[in-house]
Structure 1
Amino acid sequence: MVVLAPVLLISFVLLLMQHTPASASGGGLLAGGRRWGPRAVDDGSTKYAVVFDAGSSGSRVHVYCFDGNLDLVPIGKEIELFKQATAGLRALGTERSEEILQAVRDLLRDKSSFKSQPDWVTVLDGSQEGAFQWVTINYVLGKLGKPYSNTVGVVDLGGGSVQMAYAISEKDAAKAPEVADGEDSYVKKLLLKGTTYYLYVHSYLHYGLLAARAEILKASEGNDYNNCMLEGHHGMVACFFNHLGKYKYGDDTFEASGSSSGASYSKCRALAVRALKVDEPACTHMKCTFSGVWNGGGGDGQKNLFVASFFFDRAAEAGFVNPKAAVAKVKPSDFEEAARRVCKLNVKDAQATYPDVSEENIPYLCIDLVYQYTLLVDGFGVDPYQDITLVKKIPYSNSFVEAAWPLGSALEVASSS
């Protein structure tokens, strides 16, 4: 569970009201009509949503305040109260994590005045995370309540998975292929600010940045994996890494040493394309992204793309985005150009050239940038010269809001009342 299911986010949402009537209305619509999340009370009063996110690298608390029109209201001087706490649940394993979740459920039931149900303290799957992040970004941009063609698409590159989410037409939604039992459907139906949206969302497990390194190394034949590794990489030690030029991910360890001839952009890119399984034969009757996954049909909801998480981090570290900026306009080709520069370097020169990159990530800077370009262009079909928006925080009412899923989760619940 530690890294093979890296999109698992332990979360719950609590709704606090200025007044608490005896009755409550139903939860919000998500996943084709399935109700998810706590039930909010509609008495016209201000709503405070508290979201706890216990992820892999730490636990975080987000607090939001909504007025009767579902607009964010400042809490003191801040639009969003945010607190990073220590430790996440992901590294504890399934059994221990469930024990903690049950303890939280018991606490809320027995000793808290918060409204709660046992299933409100839950594991958030990748598709839910992608959907909520789409809600967050479109809400802050003022797009919700408008036609789907006015919304923006979202790509979120995590460590273990990558999510794509964008609104499609009802006609395209009806063309969504059936999925196997136990798999998430491609389309989620959301009712937000009085408007119904058909949201294409898919979470690609094993294709987050850290997991993709393993997939690319796995796709190598012989020792051509070293085409992606910087010369001089023979012994880095870190959380996800092992010594002697090896890369450890989950229960697997891969050869990842550099060669005396150094990395090769073109050869590494060929490996990345192979790892993405762009020509997967499982998708022969419709257009796909990669690995046999339906692409949603495209359309206006995808024309403006907001890209988050590791995309922003690597762009900032590679020097073509201001690390202090909240948003930045780039093109996929910027990742390609950065990759071509990096792949020519050895570890020592890369450390001197890119001082903001951590020591454990330096040997993997070539493979990371190559993968990010390949994912956008070959995986998601984005034109290399199309403008995309890298986003970390989004301006809102003279403040900034994290471009992350918790606000979308809180809004989905608040809008249901």
Structure 2
Amino acid sequence: MLKQHLIAFVFVSCMPFLQTIYSQSLSSKLSNGVLLSNDASGKYAVIIDAGSTGSRVHVLHFDRNLDLVQIGQDFEFFEAIKPGLSSYADDPEAAAQSLKPLLEKAEAIVPKEFRANTPVKVGATAGLRLLKGDSSEKILQAVRDLLKNESSLKYKAEWVTILEGSQEAAYIWAAINYLLGTAGKKYSETVGTIDLGGGSVQMTYAVSKEVALKASKLSNGKETYIQEKNLLGTTYHLYAYSYLNYGLLAARAEILKVSRNSSHPCILYGYHGYYTYGDVAYRASAFPTGPNMKKCRAFVLKALKINAPCKHKKCTFNGVWNGGGGDGQKNLYVASFFYDRASQVGVIKTNVPSATARPLHFLSAAKRACRTKYKDIKSVFPNINESDRPFTCLDLVYEYSLLVNGFGLNPFKKITLVKKIKYKDSLLETAWPLGSAIDAVSSQN
């Protein structure tokens, strides 16, 4: 009995001490209110996505096997601010300083002993590219100065850049293959990707070393279509090409141009208006009898420049080399506006992270859309945004034609429309910052 009282006395006496130890232990794992992982090993990466409307920071933690480790309840720490860097066109210093809050929060997440070896990369997109003169370069230099002088993270000048379309394409490819578990395997076991953005569309897939050595060159005669990428200890030769002006929003303008400011066979019956892209307004008026599928397809193919001269063995469209094909293109994951339109018109269910479909399904949806009057389109496709409704027929005809005539896919080929991929017990976005982080930590091995 005396022994039990003694144990109880010791325990009660030590409670304040134990609470202090627990509190110190917990506070050492808390940063910005985020409970950090118990595993402080492995590697971290900090990626800042400097978009046109705002800037976003992503902090990712990888273990020794380069598997993602949770930060708090998620597999990344994420924070966003507005406006974007391009809003500071006349004040580069202010542009750089706008990133400082994101940088400070990211540094607080990374344990102090890891910061010197944690890469911080800044990828700017369309907003900066559109600035006039040398404004964009001045902003980038100010950001480099900020990272060099005021950050404890690992910094290289070349890690602060405006992303080329082919770079973004390669990063999306890396992200998708990483999440699927095919990264690190031989090239023939990886999947290819098509990403349909607003201004451009990217095709990326891995090819054999033999194909890479014989790869066609770009129109400048110096660079090839192939880039080399090390991912999880495996070297890949990637065909990664970005078709500028063939993203969905840009393509609308290209397709409307074909009609030379007269009535257009892809516009829904009853709609008469304009479509503005790049500060240029294009007439978008329906035929008196409504859309004509045959003529609409002809206009789309003309905009794609399917019959442009091909200086290579085989081209996709607009005279671009197709990469040679092969096993790396056998399974395709198709993202962004392809996924969005498919989920909005019933090709796949809404809100599913991914689903399989065939290019032919886009044609079926296009036929249904093109038969629908503009006044009825909301009731037939309620999930389409109001500003997109007049172009529902045009968008779907374009997406089908891009896949089949542009990229040469069989109309019956199974493709995977993807927005998120399951990783462990979570669903992760297939966005380029994840691919950039994987590329950064892979190159450190």
TM-score relative to the length of structure 1: 0.82
Please tell me whether the aligned partners of residues 79 and 400 of structure 1 are also in contact (alpha carbons under 8 angstroms): no
Deviations 1:269-314 (A, max 9, x none): 1111111111211x14411111101111111100100000000111
What aligned pairs does 1:147-296 form with structure 2 within 5 A after superposition?
Answer: 147-181=186-220, 185-220=224-259, 223=262, 226-234=264-272, 245-281=273-309, 283-296=310-323
Deviation at 1:142, TM superposition (A): 0.7
Q: Which amino acid aligns with 2:217?
A: E
Separation in 1 of the partners of 2:54 and 2:270? Answer: 32
Work out the CA distance in 1 between the residues paired with 2:376 and 2:148. 57
Partners of 1:296 and 1:149 lie apart in 2 by 14
373, 378, 394: which is aligned to 1:367?
394
Amino acid at match of 1:230: L
Q: How far, CA to CA, are the matches of 1:97 and 1:179 in structure 2? A: 25
Structure 1 position 194, deviation (Å): 2.1
Counterpart-to-counterpart distance in 2, 1:152 and 1:330 = 16
**Is residue 59–residue 78 contact of structure 2 (8 Å, CA) maintained in 1?**
yes
Deviations 1:336-383 (A, max 9, x none): 111000011122100222222111110011111110000000000111
Match of 1:49 among 45, 52, 56: 45
Q: Taking structure 1 as reference, are residues 166 and 356 closer, same or farther at Cα in structure 2, changes over 3 Å only? A: same
Q: Deviations over 1:135-155 (max 9, x none)?
A: 111111111121111000000
Alpha-carbon offset, residue 190 of structure 1: 1.5
Contact 1:339 1:366 survives alignment (8 Å): yes
In 1, Cα distance between the equivalents of 2:197 and 2:412? 23
Other-structure match for 1:63: 59
* Pair 1:86 & 2:82 matched: yes
Shift of 1:413: 1.0
Q: CA deviation at 1:229?
A: 0.7
Determine helix, strand or coil for the equivalent of 2:210. helix
Cα distance between partner residues in 1 of 2:221 and 2:375: 47
Report the equivalent of 2:354.
Answer: 327
For the residue of structure 1 that corresponds to 2:69, the secondary structure is coil
Displacement of 1:99? 4.1
Q: Give the direction of change, closer, same or farther, for the CA distance of 1:134–1:258 in structure 2 (3 Å limit).
A: same
SS of 2:166 mapped into structure 1: helix
SS in 2 for 1:199: strand
Distance in 2, Cα, partners of 1:113 & 1:215: 47
Summarize the Cα distance change of 1:83–1:364 in structure 2 as closer, same or farther, 3 Å threshold.
farther
Give the whole-Å Cα distance in 1 for the aligned partners of 2:127 and 2:174.
28
Summarize the Cα distance change of 1:373–1:163 in structure 2 as closer, same or farther, 3 Å threshold.
same
Matched-pair contact (CA < 8 Å) for 1:264–1:344: no
Shift of 1:167: 0.5
CA distance in 2, matches of 1:416, 1:410: 10
Task: Report what 2:30 is aligned to.
Answer: none
Matched-pair contact (CA < 8 Å) for 1:188–1:200: yes
Counterpart code for 2:294: S
Q: Which has the higher helix share?
A: 2
Q: 1:194 to 1:118 in 2, by over 3 A?
A: closer
Aligned pair partner of 1:309 in 328, 336, 345 = 336
Stretch of structure 1 that moved more, 51-60 or 333-342 = 51-60
Alpha-carbon shift at residue 46 of structure 1 (Å) = 2.0
Percent of pairs with identical residues: 54
Residues 215-236 of structure 1 show CA distances to partners (whole Å, capped at 9, x for unaligned) of 1112235735x201112222xx
2:401 matched to 1:405? Answer: no
Q: Give 1:183 shift.
A: 7.5
Q: Distance in 1 between matches of 2:68 and 2:43?
A: 10
Q: Which consecutive residues of structure 1, in runs of 5 or more, have no partner in the other structure?
A: 1-43, 235-244
Deviations along 1:230-256, one digit per CA (max 9) or x if unpaired, are 12222xxxxxxxxxx122222433221
Distance verdict in 2 for CA 1:232–1:182, change over 3 Å: farther
Alignment of 1:123-138 (within 5 A): 123-138=162-177
CA contact (8 A) 2:205 2:328 kept: yes
SS of equivalent residue, structure 2 residue 61: strand
AA at the equivalent of 1:185: T
Question: Amino acid of the residue matched to residue 253 of structure 1?
Answer: A
5+ residue gaps in structure 2? 1-39, 87-125
Question: CA 1:183–1:220 in 2, change beyond 3 Å: closer, same or farther?
Answer: farther
Query: d(CA) in 1 for partners of 2:260 and 2:219?
Result: 32
Note the alpha carbon deviations across 1:110-142, whole angstroms, 9 max, x for none. 222122233322101000001111111111111
Does 2:421 match 1:391? no
Which amino acid is the alignment partner of residue 259 of structure 1? F
Are 2:199 and 2:250, in contact at CA under 8 Å, matched by a contact in 1?
yes
Runs of 4+ in 1 over 6 A off after TM superposition: none
Does the Cα contact within 8 Å between 2:255 and 2:300 map onto a contact in 1? Answer: yes
Work out the CA distance in 2 between the residues paired with 1:159 and 1:182: 28
Q: Distance in 2 between matches of 1:125 and 1:194?
A: 24
Asked if structure 1 preserves the Cα contact closer than 8 Å seen for 2:216 and 2:312, the reply is no
- Higher-Rg member (1/2): 2
SS at match of 1:145: coil
How many angstroms apart in 2 are the aligned matches of 1:287 and 1:164? 15
